[in-house]
Amino acid sequence: MTLRIGNASGFYGDRFDAMREMLTDGELDVLTGDYLAEFTMLILGRDRLKDPAAGYARTFLRQLEECLGLAHARGVRIVTNAGGLNPAGLADAVRKLADRLGIPVRVAHVEGDDLTAAHPGSLAAHAYLGGFGIAACLREGADVVVTGRVTDAALVTGPAVAHFGWGPGEYDRLAGAVVAGHVLECGTQATGGNYAFFNERAGDLRSPGFPLAELHDDGSCIITKHPGTGGFVDVGTVTAQLLYETGGARYAGPDVTARLDTVRLTQDGPDRVRIEGVRGEAPPPTLKVGLNRLGGFRNEVVFVLTGLDIEAKAALVQKQLTEALGKVAEARWELVRTDRPDADTEETASALLRLVVRDPRQEAVGRVLSGTAIELALASYPGFHVLAPPGKGSPYGVFEASFVPRGEVEHTAVLHDGRRIPVASAADTLVLDAVPEAPLPEPLPPGAVRRAPLGLVAGARSGDKGGDANVGVWVRTDEAWRWLAHTLTIDRFRELLPETRDLTVTRHVLPNLRALNFVVDGILGEGVAAQHRFDPQAKALGEWLRSRHLDIPEVLL
């Protein structure tokens, strides 16, 4: 029997109307919503500092006010991690909402992930739980299940476990559900959003429909969307999302380690992609813990440099601020050459010089930029002005990943009637080891080449994991794979992306997907909340790679 699971949110701030659209545009059994990310946990932590009753995604509650009656009438169960740092608080709020609307629903929640008390100095410390707590809630009749920090894929594995009756040792089935959950978790990224080859498709991308999975008892599934909705689903969009924010062939989670090198994708009709063959292994003996803390204060100002002598102008203002910048903990300069020679508009004749300062003291970062930098307005380079006046400085966060033994986490399902069901930890575990690199295909025979952008042949999708970034690169034909696998080495990757030259880069080979996945250690500093670089979540790192030129065989072009 097929289980139809849809998703209506890929992040805190996603399309508000998506919940209603998913409930009205087609059939569903379960509707999920993913509201949490590393950065979101910091935001919710700061909310909780101001109000101990806060700490959950309030958007979800407003969406539910419009849609709870619809879900109840259609028999659709709702599973969400919108509980954030306060799943019990959100569950109570949903109950009050249901009572006010006169809708008889049973609300349960999952807890045990909050380890903040055990990590002094952290604003929020939360273990990533699996799907068996969600499954316990659903088996006991919950209509709405609220969680805190579970893995994104757990929103799918939990309903699948409850529906099909899988046990904790059925690793292949669980791994199939994890892969389905990973495809759904970022919403419209599976239906044409943020897709490398978007300009090759005629589909309406103004408002892509959200994805759903038709799950089967053997762990296989079909990824699709509701009929008539925007966007498109094909092997490429699913491949891109499979590579997003992953690493090697082993994709570890609290319930199972899914082997991404076993995933097989086939087009099963218009807007339908079949995922099958996924193998699973026992999960690791530890659980990941996300630690968020306040790192200090940051401030920034962007100087506009126009016309001639751009580098000399930049050097002058840097010299003028040298003494003042010695009084802050960290200062970073970045000159962005957006200027063009003989430009016909002032904006295109201008370059941008960005200065970011960080310090434990707010007054220090405020004084340097609001004071010293702006005092140069009449005493520096010709044409001096800034994009916007700097403020007093704002707090920034730091994300770190840690690991704890499974036995230290009390995973608990709290039912609608108050009963508490302990969720057993995995009986069998397996320490993660690197998978031996898969054999490469035969290289293409020598032939004529042309200098051209990599993106004419390859797609890419990149993202962040703490301070690291990954760039997944894939091609759509076997012939192109024979070229890519041998050409895009770690050395070539570093050559094409010079910002990675001094960093550790690891390459993972995924032949079934015709893909390479590169993990770049430390390129994002202390994580997205620290705003370490221009693109703090590495969202466009893959597109930068695709824009780089190299010699490509003409047979592929």
pLDDT tens-digit readout, 491-524: 999 999 999 999 999 999 999 999 999 999 999 9
On whether both 51 and 169 belong to a single domain, the answer is yes
End-to-end CA distance of the chain: 45
pTM for this structure? 0.95
For 355, residues 6+ apart whose C-beta sits below 8 A from its C-beta are 300, 301, 302, 303, 321, 331, 332, 333, 369, 373
> Residue 553 in 3-state DSSP?
strand
Helix (H, G, I), strand (E, B) or coil at 162: helix
Buried b (16+ CB within 10 A) or exposed e, 221-251: bbbbbbeebbbbbbbbbbbbbbbbbbbbbbb
Q: How far is CA 254 from the centre of its chain?
A: 18
Count of structural domains within the chain: 2
Q: Verify that 155 and 231 share a domain, yes or no.
A: yes
Q: Does residue 245 fall inside a structural domain?
A: yes
Please check whether residue 343 lies inside any domain of the structure. Answer: no
Same domain, 14 and 49: yes
Closest CA to 299 of 372, 243, 404, 380: 372
One domain for residues 410 and 495? no
Per-residue pLDDT band at 1 (split at 50, 70, 90): confident
Q: 165 is in which domain, residue-wise?
A: 3-290+401-422
3-state secondary structure of 256: coil
Question: pLDDT confidence of 534, banded at 50, 70, 90?
Answer: confident
| Percent of the chain residues past pLDDT 90, beyond the cut | 91
Decide if 283 is inside a domain.
yes
Task: Tell me the C-alpha distance between 199 and 202, whole Å.
Answer: 8
In the predicted model, is pLDDT for residue 202 greater than 70?
A: no
Q: How far is CA 185 from CA 23, 146, 243, 247, 516, in A?
A: 17, 16, 13, 17, 21
Helix axes of 154-164 and 171-184: crossing angle, nearest 10 degrees: 140
Q: Are residues 250 and 182 in the same domain?
A: yes
Average pLDDT (150-171) is 98
Task: Answer yes or no: is 353 within a domain.
Answer: no
Residue 245 and residue 154 share a domain: yes
Question: Is residue 418 domain-shared with residue 495, that is, in the same domain?
Answer: no
pLDDT at 426 over 90: no
Between CA 473 and CA 88 the distance in angstroms is: 41
Provide the greatest CA pair distance for the chain.
Answer: 75
Structure tokens at 467: 């301070």
Which of 40-54, 124-138, 373-387, 440-454 is predicted least confidently? 40-54
415 plus 478 within the same structural domain: no
Strands (E), 56-190: 77-80, 107-111, 124-127, 144-146
pLDDT on residue 126: 97
Q: Does 141 lie in the same domain as 9?
A: yes
Q: Kindly state whether residue 108 falls inside one of the protein's structural domains.
A: yes
In a domain, 510, yes or no: yes
pLDDT band at 526 (very low <50, low <70, confident <90, very high): confident
Helix (H/G/I), strand (E/B), else coil: 60:
helix
Q: Are residues 418 and 545 in the same domain?
A: no
Residues 399 and 528 sit within 8 Å (Cβ to Cβ): yes
Tell whether 528 and 412 lie within a shared domain.
no
Do 170 and 107 share a structural domain? yes
Residue 380 lies in a domain: no
